[in-house]
Structure 1
């Protein structure tokens, strides 16, 4: 026995009286914050969806399910299986679950069932942040990042490759059928001897693969035809929009704009490249695992993924708007994200900062007509490269691109634009490096949009919780101020 005296250690010691869950964690823990916050949120849409279900075993309380999902995303745990396991192993999850242990299927189904409700919760939390002085609209920044889909780029195939593969497999199947006839004759001969050989499994596999490729071909053709029709409608809508320009920003104007051009409030969608007759072009691709994902270029090469977009406020780095699309270029996202800021805040920001990926003359006009001052870089600038000096008066005949480049080259413009990377880029860094959200777990555009909504919702909740805790811990004279 050691001579040194240690503190008593009895892991099998039973409690005379069970401790309260409110004593298991620190008083200002995020789990307790969610337990207090979630019941105050409007969950009527979620509760209403269960009113029609009068039969079967009672479902889990939606408040508990929302708490588990939000806390999971706040701590970088988005897998339904891991959340289920945490309700046994993690104290905070046990507190939120209240002794329940919903299985991974229930958690996943709940997340997918209430996609619209989670978007509404995101808007509610943005409103709460603004009520406590966070998420101001004086200056915001927009940025995007390409994220890996739950699919491999090696599972994608072009239209031309599909046709070639179909022809190749058809020849293989013909050879297999000829071989099958030989097998039939051999079986007849073997039957007389009492031996019945089985057809090899690999003889049936090429036909199955050919059918799968044929299905992908038909789907690609249908998508190409639909995209061609959509392109015609879009061109017609843009032509009408040019004839009647939008008025300055107001709620009525925003609704009128949506009615004038129904697609302007929608997010961009990557359309299959097709000829005039709707036939897909040879390089048009489709992924067998996640057909809605697209090949996208990143700084490290190409990935099969989605384009994640956010608009972040300079005050407290609150995410005011977010979206996920399968359209790689960024310019088309700016109008839709700006409208989403209006949706969540009821007004447009004063200044909008964006890198060169968002610049276009249409985007500059779109911002100015809504009284938003744009600071959009016109070209990518290498590190440690001095900006050109601006002298004299601006030329009278300068283009919008030249005017924007000149504005950013001034001291005031350069000082404002320099804030862009400090406002929005740390948010993506936190989502990727701190919370570990580098790859989508689900497949399909609607599901990954819901997944990203929960991530952005969790980010804002972390900021809100930290703000409330810091104010509660501040000295009395600072709280009064």
Structure 2
């Protein structure tokens, strides 16, 4: 045993009473408190309208939304893990309240059911931030990042292999039908025309037909997307047909979505976007419009990297009298001598001015920091849902959690 007089007493099996209120067991700066207060102030009538009056009572939307937002700030994006955290983590249990708690299926269904409602939750977090003095729109940086989809190359097939698989399945179906006709003829010779009522197609034929239709649907979608640019090597994922092959930040070529964000001067996300398009140039005007729709105000000036540069986009921004600085060349490199297009040439001349250089210099830290924080701190590197509409809702939820997290940090600093 040794001399225990040097150490504090330690009794592992000693009985103890938890605090009367779980809030007493949490640190005052825990983001659970801020999320609790923030969600209580949100208008969730759109959520509540999706539930019927009759039938078994559902868990309160406020409860479920608090769990998902808090989970995102803690780097948790699985319904199963949230259900486990409710039993183990005081912060989750505090937000879940006393009494019965939702299981992982209920938690996951909530995220899918309300995928369209998360956009309004995000907008309300922006309004909350602007009411507290954040979300300055003098200079707004627009940027995008590629986030992995919930699929992989192993669940995909190239166009040439799809053709081969379809032909193989056609032969397999024809063989099964021929064998079935032979067996039916033998049974008729043996038993006559009596029908025992079993009917139906053989299971192996049903499976072959389902595989053929699934491959055909993926092939037709791939052909529609690529058009004349279609090559035999182009492939499509069966798990998430809407995801596209994109080059990620680490250089890997994976199925992903292009997630967009417009960031205010003080690092708040004030508009979101998501698409299956690999290039960013199509998002310049829509993201600028999204800022106005979310906040009710136009940005003073928009900053974006070379990926957003296009003659059409610059022309539209000028038509709307929206000031912007879009890189003409790669950052850190010399500007090209003389680009094509009158609007691009005008931007080229503007970026040489001292005030434009100073203004554009802040783009990298302002526009890219939220993505670094979402991926590194909040641990969001891969979408959990599948399909562009569900993934868009998931991105809105993550961005709403990011805004609340920043607001919680700011509030904790004043305590």
Q: TM-score range by the shorter chain?
A: 0.7 to 0.9
The Cα shift of 1:8 comes to: 3.0
For residues 417-473 of structure 1, the C-alpha deviation after alignment (integer angstroms, 9 at most, x for no partner) is 111101011111111111111111111111111111111111100111112222x33
For residues 102-122 of structure 1, the C-alpha deviation after alignment (integer angstroms, 9 at most, x for no partner) is 111110111111122221111
Q: Is the 8 A contact 1:310 1:323 kept in 2?
A: yes
Could you tell me how far apart the structure 2 residues matched to 1:307 and 1:466 are?
A: 28
Q: Is the 8 A contact 2:59 2:102 kept in 1?
A: yes
Could you tell me how far apart the structure 1 residues matched to 2:17 and 2:280 are?
A: 62
The Cα shift of 1:223 comes to: 7.9
Question: Which segment drifts farther, 441-450 or 205-214?
Answer: 205-214
Quickly say closer, same or farther: Cα 1:308–1:87, change in 2 above 3 A: same
The Cα shift of 1:3 comes to: 2.2
Q: Is the 8 A contact 2:140 2:264 kept in 1?
A: yes
1:458 maps to 401
Could you tell me how far apart the structure 2 residues matched to 1:303 and 1:222 are?
A: 19
Question: Which segment drifts farther, 372-381 or 424-433?
Answer: 372-381
2:41 maps to 40
| 1:373 corresponds to 2:316 | no
Give the alignment partner of residue 312 of structure 1, picking from 254, 263, 288. Answer: 263
2:214 maps to 215
Could you tell me how far apart the structure 1 residues matched to 2:280 and 2:204 are?
A: 42
1:134 maps to 134
Where 1:311 maps in the other structure, the secondary structure is strand
Structure 1 unaligned spans of 5+: 189-203, 225-270, 474-481
In the TM superposition, 1:200-349 aligns within 5 A as 208=207, 211-218=210-217, 220-221=219-220, 272-274=225-227, 285-299=235-249, 300-315=251-266, 317-349=267-299
Could you tell me how far apart the structure 1 residues matched to 2:204 and 2:244 are?
A: 27
In the TM superposition, 1:3-82 aligns within 5 A as 3-5=3-5, 6-15=7-16, 18-50=19-51, 52-56=52-56, 58-82=57-81
Could you tell me how far apart the structure 1 residues matched to 2:370 and 2:17 are?
A: 47
Quickly say closer, same or farther: Cα 1:212–1:175, change in 2 above 3 A: closer
The Cα shift of 1:41 comes to: 1.0
The Cα shift of 1:67 comes to: 1.0
Could you tell me how far apart the structure 2 residues matched to 1:164 and 1:15 are?
A: 67
Quickly say closer, same or farther: Cα 1:114–1:414, change in 2 above 3 A: same
Could you tell me how far apart the structure 1 residues matched to 2:210 and 2:45 are?
A: 46
1:85 maps to 84
In the TM superposition, 1:145-184 aligns within 5 A as 145-171=145-171
Q: Is the 8 A contact 1:141 1:424 kept in 2?
A: yes
TM-score, L = length of structure 1: 0.74
Q: Is the 8 A contact 2:146 2:256 kept in 1?
A: yes
Could you tell me how far apart the structure 2 residues matched to 1:34 and 1:388 are?
A: 48
Where 1:42 maps in the other structure, the secondary structure is coil
Where 1:101 maps in the other structure, the secondary structure is coil
Could you tell me how far apart the structure 1 residues matched to 2:63 and 2:14 are?
A: 30
Measured on the aligned residues, the alpha-carbon RMSD in Å equals: 3.1
Q: Is the 8 A contact 1:126 1:460 kept in 2?
A: yes
Give aligned pairs, total. Answer: 394
2:364 maps to 421
Where 2:116 maps in the other structure, the secondary structure is helix
Structure 2 unaligned spans of 5+: 188-202
For residues 186-225 of structure 1, the C-alpha deviation after alignment (integer angstroms, 9 at most, x for no partner) is xx9xxxxxxxxxxxxxxx879845642433324643786x
Could you tell me how far apart the structure 2 residues matched to 1:163 and 1:11 are?
A: 65
